[in-house]
Structure 1
Amino acid sequence: MAERLRNQASAYLRQHADNPVDWWPFGDAAFAEARRRNVPVFISVGYAACHWCHVMAHESFEDAATAQYLNENFVSVKVDREERPDVDAVYMAATQALTGQGGWPMSVFTLPDGRTFYAGTYFPPRQLQGMPSFRQVLEAVSSAWRDRPEEVETSAAQIAAHLASAQAGNRTLVGTLGLATGGAGPLSGEVLEAAVEAVAEQEDPRFGGLGGAPKFPPSPLLRFLLVYGAAGRPASGTAAAVAGRTLETMARSGLYDQLEGGFARYTVDRAWAVPHFEKMLYDNAQLLRLYAHWSRSAPTGDQRRLALQVSADTAAWLARRLLVDGGGFASSLDADTLVDGKRREGATYVWTSEELRTVLAGAGADADAVLSLLDLETGRMEDGGSTLHFGRSLEPAEEQLWQRSRPALLAVRDRRPQPDRDDKVVAGWNGLAVAGLADAALALADAGDPDGKAAGLLDLARRAAGYLLRVHYRDGVLVRVSHAGTASGIEGQLEDYAGAAEGLFALFAATGEEQWYRAAEELVLAAEQRFIADGVLQDSAVRTDQLAAAQGSISAADPMDGPAPSGTALFAGVLVTYAAYSGSSRHRALAEALLAHVQLVAARAPRAGGWAMSVLAQALDGPRELAVTGSDPVLMGRLLRAGRAAGGPAVVVASGPGGETAVPLLRNRPAPDGGALAYLCRGMVCSRPVADPQELAAQFRGTGP
């Protein structure tokens, strides 16, 4: 029945191609069919790695009777939230307005014009603990559509008005851009100190991280804490300490794959022991970069080694599990594994103590000693298996014992059934992966790179960047997704343009190869043109009629972070970076205008403003610009290492021979023949150039000339 889904880029849509439900992809044709038949539209939103999406699919969408009722009374639309974040955002807002909560699978009922009149999330096949069955919901919605059309219209109008009001709120937060960009007022860092204090109050004193269960890695916020922690400002010590405790706790927990690397999306418990097992590119791209940054600033040698190990292993996991032909990275690995024809959540990853003993003894390891490292009880799941969860720091000898034991356990686990992969490539997330790989390569190289991994990570970053520009970017437009080397579907969102630019700037900083700078510059300028209309920043350059109707024809970019940074925050960040490289006061002013909302949200909702707060902290520091020019690669390398170590994660770095260059920061920065010089600047105004790494470090500390 669902032939329309068979050749879609989204694995989630393809998973439903054999359902008896007559699915349509989201688009004008589906809503036109609903108008022709005079039936409501049922929109089911999920994603390929979602456990409960699979559950509802098996219980309801694979059921012939349920499918028949849907086909007779609705036009059914299947949406991958990762492919269509614009659709997901609008209908998630409607669902939360109606129910007070949200999640996936999301079940939304709309008029043929796209306006919501009823919504929920997962519905079971039978009535359960006061929750209606899915069939009961369908029958009630169908009855209301048929017998009470005035009530349906009233509900749709009220929900659209509510969403319009929320969009007006976003417009107020972000403000009006364009000619007003110079009038946002001077940036102030006082609110950042209040944000750090608010975060410290939310820290879990027993298990680390923020709040209780479920626990998500607060990646955008951790970026802020690391940037602010290196800034030498009030509360910098608190910020660095909270970030360090959170990063160390996650690295020793069941959230992190202790055998292969890579992080699950979240844990269902407060102790970080039992994950929801899907692994997302956007989480891991951010986290491998965060651990690379922490490896420079962590206070102890053991923590710095742990940070480098986690960063390197997470990068290796990306290459092993998510790399697709051509160099891009796939979106995710599923939470479930198909075992004997049944989907089981986390089946690939969990162990019984008997299984662990058998493998370890067979490998000649001291099984009792290895098992004593693990907290299998806290990591125990309902089926009796356990995650590999330490829940504490390891002593150096314990760490060595675990590293010796990993290969044997991983070899056995690799022979188990493995979770499915969603092969679609998302532009913005790949940009974050490029940035993470580039910064991880630098961190390894600066630490001596004893295993020779840095060059391989830089090559992965180059290949992913090349894939984005070759496959996703055409005729000045960045396409959001590709599959099997072909881009398709909607234009990229603001987060895609800005995320890709973030990665390209990071790759230029790591390599000095100007092609990446030029591509990043082109994306920044394109985003400025495509996502600002009449002074209003938008998340989408093109909006469908249905989504416009659903939110009362008012839209604006949402500046608040989710698990990944918002498009607004990412765009502000690349604008600050671009202004530092180019000297463009106009783009600096635009960035400052986009950061004005931080004053309102930082202390009240710091977890939703982390990336923008990190950009504000960077901007308040200048940002500091490091230009290294010359023809001696060894001395240039030493100066760059010293600058990265002293400058923290927010320093903007450029290197090259000087002379003719596409990068204004490098122009008119001469170096002696056969030598090299480092210029530390703010706003293109530089301190005396130096050729000694120690003198450069002193300039960063404010103690040098």
Structure 2
Amino acid sequence: MTTQNKSNRLANEKSPYLLQHAQNPIDWFPWSEEAFSKAKQENKPVFLSIGYSTCHWCHVMAHESFEDQAIADMLNKDFISIKVDREERPDVDHIYMAICQAMTGQGGWPLTVFLTPEQKPIFAGTYFPRSRKYNRAGLVEIIAQIANKWKDDPERIREAGERIIQDTQSRLLEHRSGDVLTEETLHEAFRMYESNFDPENGGFGSAPKFPTSHNLSFLLRYYMKTGNERALEMVEKTLDTMHRGGMYDHIGFGFSRYSVDEKWLVPHFEKMLYDNALLVMTYIEAYQVTGKNQYAEIAEQVISYVLRDMTHEEGAFYSAEDADSEGVEGKFYVWTMDEIEDVLGIEEGDLYSEIYNITESGNFVGKNIPNLLDATLVSLAKRKQIPQDVLKQRMEAARNKLFAHREQRIHPGKDDKILTSWNGLMIVALSKAARALDKEVYADAAAKAADFVLRELRREDGRLLARYRDGEAAFLGYVDDYAFLVWGLIELYETTFELRFLHEAVQLNADMLRLFGDEARGGLFFYGSDAEQLLTRPKEIYDGAMPSGNGVAALNMLRLSRLTYDAKLSQAADEQLQAFAGAVSQYPPGHALTLAALDFAYGEASEIVIAGDPAKAETQHLLRAVQRQFLPNTLLILHPPGAAGEEVRKLVPLVQDKLPLGGRATAYVCQNFACQAPTQDIADLENLSSEH
């Protein structure tokens, strides 16, 4: 029995996820001091529900339970109910997800946790049906049991919550260990990646499969470092199969969040900004390493999707698109064979269906997810004796028609909040693409997004904020916000050579160390010393769907210390690696960004200074010769003439005395603390990646 209720407190929030629940009959609070004060005053336990706006099972639980008047009556009588958007409050989500995993052995969203008024856990899980189903406890029963136990003996429950917190501290706070990270850690990581690799379908492990493109980026670095062909084979197999599968939107472009099967065929249809940003990075790097144009094309398609559908009018990027439309998962994306033929005609429809695996029976609840797993343009062109370029043109014309038709459908919901951290990742991706493909439009898009974040998501005192929506910036930035944005600004400097971006990176990195640093144990806490203090201050080093802020920060610090000759920053980078040595040594493949930092620290890092006037073609030619290559452990600096050069020298001392020779643009290449003879010959710079 559901009912349409008047708005609750969530109607005053900006989060699209919280607003989805503003009409629930449950008396929801946002996470707030008011909610916990009320729980203490009334001696009631807390019902905490955490999710995000594009989460399919969050929608299911909302419709089954949170719109239900009977459940609302139970919660309103005996609990204080709190709803949290995990993308606004990743600090809260991080703590209670770790607790859920410790208590149940698994996690995910929606995250359902019962707490004492002091925020200590009582019970945790993920999705629960309204009533018991498929041997899964129902929410009605759980609410009743916990309410009764609380009434009978609240102190006993409080004591149990305290024990849970003590038992899960190791998950929430990494400690320094006696382990030492060395180059052998990189080799061990490769061996473990190889043992977990799926040679038939690409990717690692079994279903469900996530892109985790940062693992592939590490393997590209490992291939360049060692020449081990197996590392490159794993990357290419995974990138090729992911793109051919249904996880890639072959009509509108962009990748879904993950595949529910091992073949990458059936996706969980939501599209997240961070996945697409990370995948653009990896496809661009694969293009740089292999020279294969298909990787550049895929990256450009994903960028076109982001710029078309996920970009605010002032340049920043939205968070996600939903899996559901009209209440049905994937409805926007799937097709029947008749629909294809109606749009394209019989002849072109049959050809499209043959290539993209469209059948009468379908591959997803009677309909079809277009994919290239059974055929490719190359194989079909050969079989049909159609010139490959002609077939490609015909399929692009078909795609455009299908896209125009699909645009008339009811679109999935869009989470249009702007997150500093995810925007940082997209700035990295666009900067890398701009360099590799010589596309100024990508650099402009990255700069526009960076300017938005630096303008709209920063307080007057310089403190970063985490979320912007509907004219409001809120929530003190987390370590990911700082680390990912600093990464983006460093990449943006090496793309545009606008010194202001490097200045911002240096300042934000210093702020990050001050706000998040742990002087006692090393590493960076997830939330700042100036933020709301929760049960504990966790640290995250594990790279899950996204890389960890600590891993990215280690690489940032190494790069900035080399650029600025800052000995304290170099020491901080070393301490950052040592702080998490135990966790990384235990399972190296779970820490790809820390491995990248380790490779930078122990590998053949180099600096290249181009001294010359950026307005002159000869300077640009030297810059482009370096930028188009995959040189992950190389720093590229422009040393212009005049006052601009003086500003660079103040921030980047290594450019000192590196000047144009004979009035012509000159390149200075330094590797392993030794500098080669300066050169003005582009040919000397064109094969640097093969020398590393």
TM-score, normalized by the shorter chain, greater than 0.5: yes
Aligned residue for 1:533, secondary structure, equals coil
Partner residue of 1:328?
316
1:479 and 1:513 map into 2 onto residues whose CA distance is 24
Aligned residue for 1:596, secondary structure, equals helix
Specify every segment of 5 or more residues in structure 2 that has no aligned partner in the other structure, as ranges: 1-5, 379-387
Tell which deviates more after alignment, 78-87 or 197-206: 197-206
Q: Does the C-alpha gap of structure 1 residues 686 and 102 become closer, same or farther in structure 2, counting only changes over 3 Å?
A: same
1:394 and 1:467 map into 2 onto residues whose CA distance is 41
Partner residue of 1:547?
534
Q: 2:408 aligned with 1:408, yes or no?
A: no
1:520 and 1:545 map into 2 onto residues whose CA distance is 25
Aligned residue for 1:194, secondary structure, equals helix
Shift of 1:424: 1.1
- Cα deviations by residue, 1:372-406 (Å, 9 ceiling, x for unpaired): 11234699455311111111654144544432321
Letter in 2 for 1:640: L
Report the aligned-residue RMSD: 2.3
Shift of 1:618: 2.4
Q: 1:139 aligns with which of 106, 125, 144?
A: 144
Partner residue of 1:96?
101
1:402 and 1:612 map into 2 onto residues whose CA distance is 42
Q: Does the C-alpha gap of structure 1 residues 378 and 689 become closer, same or farther in structure 2, counting only changes over 3 Å?
A: farther
Q: 1:587 aligns with which of 556, 561, 569?
A: 569
Matches within 5 A, 1:182-581: 188-231=182-225, 233=226, 235=228, 237-298=229-290, 304-338=292-326, 343-361=327-345, 366-376=348-358, 380-391=362-373, 393-395=376-378, 396-397=388-389, 398-445=391-438, 454-474=439-459, 475-488=461-474, 490-536=475-521, 537-542=524-529, 547-548=534-535, 553=536, 555-581=537-563
Q: 2:176 aligns with which of 154, 163, 172?
A: 172
Q: Does the C-alpha gap of structure 1 residues 74 and 31 become closer, same or farther in structure 2, counting only changes over 3 Å?
A: same
Q: 2:13 aligned with 1:27, yes or no?
A: no
Letter in 1 for 2:76: N
Corresponding pairs, count: 666
Contact conserved, 1:3 with 1:18, CA < 8 A, in 2? yes
Q: Does the C-alpha gap of structure 1 residues 578 and 79 become closer, same or farther in structure 2, counting only changes over 3 Å?
A: same
Aligned residue for 1:372, secondary structure, equals helix
Shift of 1:698: 5.5
Tell which deviates more after alignment, 515-524 or 610-619: 610-619
- Cα deviations by residue, 1:37-88 (Å, 9 ceiling, x for unpaired): 1100010000000000011111111111211111111100000111111100
Specify every segment of 5 or more residues in structure 1 that has no aligned partner in the other structure, as ranges: 176-183, 446-453
Letter in 1 for 2:476: E
- Cα deviations by residue, 1:280-333 (Å, 9 ceiling, x for unpaired): 1111111112111111112xx6xx221111111111111111111322111110
1:420 and 1:68 map into 2 onto residues whose CA distance is 29
Matches within 5 A, 1:21-100: 21-100=26-105
Letter in 1 for 2:610: V
2:352 and 2:71 map into 1 onto residues whose CA distance is 50
Shift of 1:566: 0.4
Q: Does the C-alpha gap of structure 1 residues 600 and 693 become closer, same or farther in structure 2, counting only changes over 3 Å?
A: farther
Shift of 1:234: 5.9
1:211 and 1:515 map into 2 onto residues whose CA distance is 43
Q: 2:133 aligns with which of 95, 117, 128?
A: 128
Shift of 1:224: 0.9
Aligned residue for 2:50, secondary structure, equals strand
- Relative contact order (C-alpha < 8 Å, sep 6+): which is higher? 1
Give percent identity, aligned residues only.
35
Aligned residue for 2:198, secondary structure, equals coil
- Cα deviations by residue, 1:450-496 (Å, 9 ceiling, x for unpaired): xxxx22222211110001100112212100111123211x2111111
Shift of 1:206: 1.2
Contact conserved, 1:660 with 1:667, CA < 8 A, in 2? no
Shift of 1:225: 1.3
TM-score (norm 1): 0.90
Contact conserved, 1:91 with 1:108, CA < 8 A, in 2? yes
- Cα deviations by residue, 1:514-542 (Å, 9 ceiling, x for unpaired): 11111111111111111113334311114
Aligned residue for 1:689, secondary structure, equals coil
Contact conserved, 1:630 with 1:676, CA < 8 A, in 2? yes
Letter in 1 for 2:526: D
Letter in 1 for 2:265: A
Q: Does the C-alpha gap of structure 1 residues 461 and 128 become closer, same or farther in structure 2, counting only changes over 3 Å?
A: same
1:682 and 1:295 map into 2 onto residues whose CA distance is 24
2:8 and 2:662 map into 1 onto residues whose CA distance is 66
Shift of 1:600: 4.6
TM-score (norm 2): 0.92
Aligned residue for 1:172, secondary structure, equals coil
Shift of 1:573: 1.4
Q: 2:620 aligned with 1:626, yes or no?
A: no
